[in-house]
Amino acid sequence: FRSSTVHTKPFDDQKPGTSGLRKKVKVFQQKNYTENFVQAILNSLGDELKGSVLVLGGDGRYYVKDAAKLIVKMCAANGVKKVIVGQHGIVSTPAVSNLIRKRNTTGGIILTASHNPGGPDQDFGIKFNTKNGGPAPDSVTTEIFNITVRLDSYNIVPDLDCDIDTLGVNTYTVDGKEFVVEVIDSVADYVSLMKDIFDFSSLRDLLKGTESRDPFRVLINSLNGVTGPYVREIFVNELGAGESSIVNTKPLEDFGGLHPDPNLTYAAELVSALKEGVHDFGAAFDGDGDRNMILGKNAFFVTPSDSLAVLGSHLRHIPYFRIEGVKGFARSMPTAGAIDRVANAVGVDFYEVPTGWKYFGSLMDASRLSLCGEESFGTGSDHIREKDGIWAALAWLQIIACEKKSVEELLISHWKRFGRNFFTRYDYENCNADDCARMMHKLEQTVTSPAYVGTQLSHKNKSYVVKLADNFHYEDPVDGSIAARQGIRLLFEDGSRIIVRLSGTGSSGATVRIYIDSYEKDENLLLGDAQVVLSPLINIALDVTEIKIHTGREAPTVIT
Ligand code: VG1
Ligand code: CO
């Protein structure tokens, strides 16, 4: 085979957001659009490109397979030595992270728009992960973007048509050099990683029941995303759960029309099934398998911030942490502060980072962090460098197996010991971008004026005094890199918080996220409903942001 160089014109909108480049499929299908971005990723590798080994896989959404085959042709032409690709182009995000680490590759390319809907008129995305298995840090994504705006050509082997549906090793000669494409079983390595981390025999006993204990009935919903085959192998084949314990396990290009985001709105099917009271535990995962939602019997909802904290205080039950030790805990800035108190009780370091998993990686690489999470249904540990939905569900089950308590009992005893962080998030999706920019600008000006500290904000008979207000600024404690302007924070004297930021994962328009977090330790108030308890603070947040005026929206699209 011979490579050729194709002349192209740069695009000016290929700036990666919170997690890769996300656009409508139609945008990626424009002439040279995908090619340009892939070439920019490859160029960003510099001297490491020639002879490199890359992992390639995606969440099975529409356009994954076309893009995967294209990327193979471009890798061949750019001197990559080997591409390790999942069969049919499918690999979950956590499994890609694992493969990069296990096979010691130069990095990986993940084809996903995560929790965004899929299909010809929906979203697609491309993300680059570095050799630690984690999402490329800001320095790398900035470099990729800088390359895209001056790119004038890309390299491709147009007639190298690799069959990525058949397992095996394909060897080619390209420009006189060997080029290898290894098509792998996407599930096997990940399942063996989970078996190393958890005690599968105790999980099997939990699910199947023993003489002294009824079976613990689980319902796992893959929302037609990438986790289906992983869930089937782990829950049915390994742990012996019945076929009826798993649903929506065939990855579909359009997720069967579902919005593959595991929250109370988009995973309503799981919520209503759990409400029937038959199952003890429910979990759903997003399109690419890195997010999770955990429910207890009767659809008892575990907020991701609480989930992280409960895991944090029970890590001793998980074999992996007994061997590796517990180094530190972290959460993203908007995530409620429940884990902070656990870190204090357990006596490990605690870190608060900006939104996005890429900020956890350097702490893990420096052996300072074991467990972390985000309020957006992301939980994970240093077993890989991505958040991991199935891992989180297994971690919960392992703890339940040891503690012999229900999900709800675990939460209640957690709140009694540590107090409860009530949390809610209001999302206003698909608003006008200019209006939102104006709103953020005005809010920042208001809250950062020197006189603002000490201001009393009230709703009905509740008042909060501003202790600190700023635009969150983060300095990585390991490498000193800076992430500025990561979201507007209003911190109040009683520890309550209002956070406002714009999403960086949308494919068009703007999404405003308002996060509200308030701590309560009075035993009599622990079981309240978050929307009721937080109502004064929510109203204050709607007032200060003037969200209705700026966006014209009466109500949020999604409340978590
Ligand atoms: C959202 C979440 C963030 C998460 C990111 C990627 O980002 O808020 O916590 O890390 O999605 O998740 P944003 O910028 O829209 O708020 V996923 O499952 O896309 O990899
Ligand atoms: Co995801």
pLDDT tens digits, one per residue of 126-180: 999 999 999 999 999 999 999 999 999 999 999 999 999 999 999 999 999 999 9
Query: Which residue, chain included where needed, has tokens 């499929």?
Result: 25
290 lines ligand 1 (CB under 6 A): yes
* Residues paired with 381 in a beta bridge: 371
Q: Is the CB of residue 14 below 6 angstroms from any atom belonging to ligand 1?
A: no
Rounded to two decimals, the ipTM of the complex is 0.97
The per-residue pLDDT for 560 is 87
The catalytic residue among 114, 305, 332, 362 is 114
Residue 154 Cβ contacting ligand 1 at under 6 Å:
no
Q: Is residue 364 within 8 Å of residue 476, measured between CB atoms? A: no
Residues with Cβ within 8 Å of 244's Cβ and at least 6 positions away in sequence, in order, are none
Write the pLDDT tens digit of every residue in 408-434: 999 999 999 999 999 999 999 989 999
**Rounded distance between C-alpha atoms, residue 340 and residue 349, angstroms:** 9
What is the band of 212 on the pLDDT scale with cuts at 50, 70, 90? confident
Protein residue whose Cα sits closest to atom 1 of ligand 1: 505
In whole angstroms, how far apart are CA 98 and each of 46, 131, 141, 192?
Answer: 24, 11, 21, 11
> Which atom of ligand 1 sits closest to the CA of residue 113?
19
Q: What is the pLDDT of residues 345-358, one digit of tens each?
A: 999 999 999 999 99
> Is there an atom of ligand 1 within 6 Å of 129 CB?
no
User: CA–CA separation, 186 vs 86, rounded Å?
Assistant: 5
The Cα diameter of the chain in Å comes to 78
Mean pLDDT, the chain, whole residue set: 95
Helices (H), 237-388: 268-275, 304-312, 319-324, 338-346, 361-365
Question: Which of 19, 61, 332, 352 gets mutated to test ligand 1 (max ligand atoms within 8 A of its CB)?
Answer: 19
**Alpha carbon separation from 32 to 14, 121, 127 (Å, rounded):** 12, 19, 17
- Structure letter (DSSP) for residue 480: -
Q: Which atom of ligand 1 lies at the shortest distance from residue 374's CA?
A: 9
Strands 462-471 and 456-459: antiparallel
**In the annotation, is 114 catalytic?**
yes
Domains of the chain by range and CATH?
4-186 (3.40.120.10), 189-418 (3.40.120.10), 420-559 (3.30.310.50)
251-264 average pLDDT score: 94
Q: State the pLDDT at residue 302.
A: 96
For 180-197, b/e burial (b = at least 16 CB within 10 A) is ebbbbebbeebbebbeeb
Average pLDDT over residues 288-297: 97
251-286 b/e (C-beta count within 10 Å ≥ 16 → b) = bbbbbeebbbbbbeebbeebbebbeeeebbbbbbbb
State percent of the chain over pLDDT 90.
Answer: 91
Alpha carbons 236 and 210: distance in angstroms, whole number: 17
